[in-house]
Amino acid sequence: MKNKTIILFYNSMWGEPLDYPREEIPEHFFITEDRNLYDRASAVVFHVPSLGFDFIVGRGPIKKESQIWVGWSMESAAHHPILSTELVMRRFDLTMTQSRDSDIWCPYLLSSNREDLRNEPLEKTDGFLVNAFISSRYDTNGRTEYLREMMKRIDVHSYGKLFRNAAQPNGAGRQFKLDTMARYKFTVAFENASEPDYVTEKFYDPLIVGSVPIYLGAPNIEEFSPGDKCFINVSDFDGPESLSRFLHDLSRDTARYSEYFEWKNKPFRRGFEKLLQIQNEHLFVRLCRKIDKTLERGAAVNSLTNT
């Protein structure tokens, strides 16, 4: 570890172990979760939403001289107010979040989505019109009430904890979810908050498996769309009643419905292609490069100050 630039992840994301391609990390960097190396770390990454009360009130770790602190999150500030608390966020030199305004962009979009999005849609199962996988009751955009009203007007098979009326096996994971979505014409893709750039797997999963997302969430969702006419935007309708009528009509018109998959055989939108290209370099590699530049800039400033 001698002459290595140490990046310490002070706390991981929700306790999950770090998962990254170690072979792609620049050789002069060492990434660790060992807090015993705190004093030697050039940069310390904090998963902000899971920080404890001590950090919030300023009783957490003491920042070392020239140390870079990075605030890390993929969550919505609407559900984690700490992310919009100035007294906390101003302690970080860099941010690594799903917002494209952050120093290191950390989206839900993956480089593997490039190929996955080209998957051909499967034939739909008769009677399988709309599915929903929503379990969390976090809700700042009215998604709970919207879904409740939708279910009064159209047949929705809800596999999540919210309004569950469809069974799933014990221990069912992501693959069950994807396989199930693929059998339906439409998938409820409601984010738990409507914030710019906050676009999660709820949007991309149905696109990957060939189900049309019914989207409620980021107001700039078009900027994250791989192609034209690939999803149905809740904001285009007066409410659940008009949306449900539209879904009923669309489901009965095979030609119109098939138009929602034409994008799969066309080049991705230029803006979406740029987002994918950013993901060609792993998040932690981009973090290393940003820390390098920040350290260089700090060294240059110190050099000028001492002359």
What's the pTM value of the predicted model, to 2 decimals?
0.93
* Mean pLDDT, contiguous 10-residue spans, the chain (307 residues): 91 92 96 97 96 82 95 94 91 97 96 96 96 92 97 97 93 93 98 97 98 98 98 98 98 97 98 96 97 84 49
Separation between Cα atoms, residue 147 and residue 156, nearest integer Å: 9
In sequence order, which residues have a C-beta less than 8 Å from that of residue 296 and are 6 or more positions away?
A: none
**What pLDDT is stored for residue 303 in this prediction?**
46
Q: How far apart are CA 220 and CA 95, in angstroms?
A: 21
pLDDT at residue 137, rounded to an integer: 85
pLDDT for residue 42: 97
Q: Greatest CA separation found in the chain?
A: 77
Nearest-angstrom CA–CA distance, 26 and 77: 32
pLDDT at 300: 52
**Beta-strand relationship, 94-97 and 212-216:** unpaired
Of the candidates 82, 76, 69, 70, the residue with the CA atom closest to the CA atom of residue 99 = 76
Cα–Cα distance, 187 to 128 (Å, whole number): 10
Contact, 25 vs 50, CB < 8 A? no
Supply the pLDDT for residue 302.
55
**Residue 211 three-state SS:** coil
User: What's the start-to-end Cα distance of the chain, in Å?
Assistant: 32
Q: Tell me, what's the pLDDT at 2? A: 76
Residue 5 CA to residue 28 CA, distance in Å, equals 6
* Cα distance between residue 76 and residue 83, in whole Å: 8
Between strands 5-11 and 130-132, the pairing is unpaired
Mapping DSSP onto H, E and C, the string for 182-197 reads: CCCCEEEEECCCCCCC
Can you say whether residue 42 is alpha, beta or left, with left for phi > 0 and alpha for psi between -120 and 50 degrees? alpha
Query: What b/e sequence results for 195-205 when a residue is b if at least 16 CB atoms lie within 10 Å of its CB, and e otherwise?
Result: bebbbbebbbb
Is 43 within 8 Å of 67 (Cβ atoms)?
yes
264-273: which pairs have CB atoms within 8 A and are 24 or more residues apart? Answer: 264/117, 264/118, 264/119, 264/120, 264/121, 264/227, 266/227, 268/117, 268/226, 268/227, 269/225, 269/226, 269/227, 269/228, 271/223, 272/223, 272/224, 272/225, 272/226, 272/227
Which run of H or of E encompasses 232? Answer: strand 232-233
Residue 60 is predicted with a pLDDT of 85
Q: Which residues are 212's β-sheet partners?
A: 186
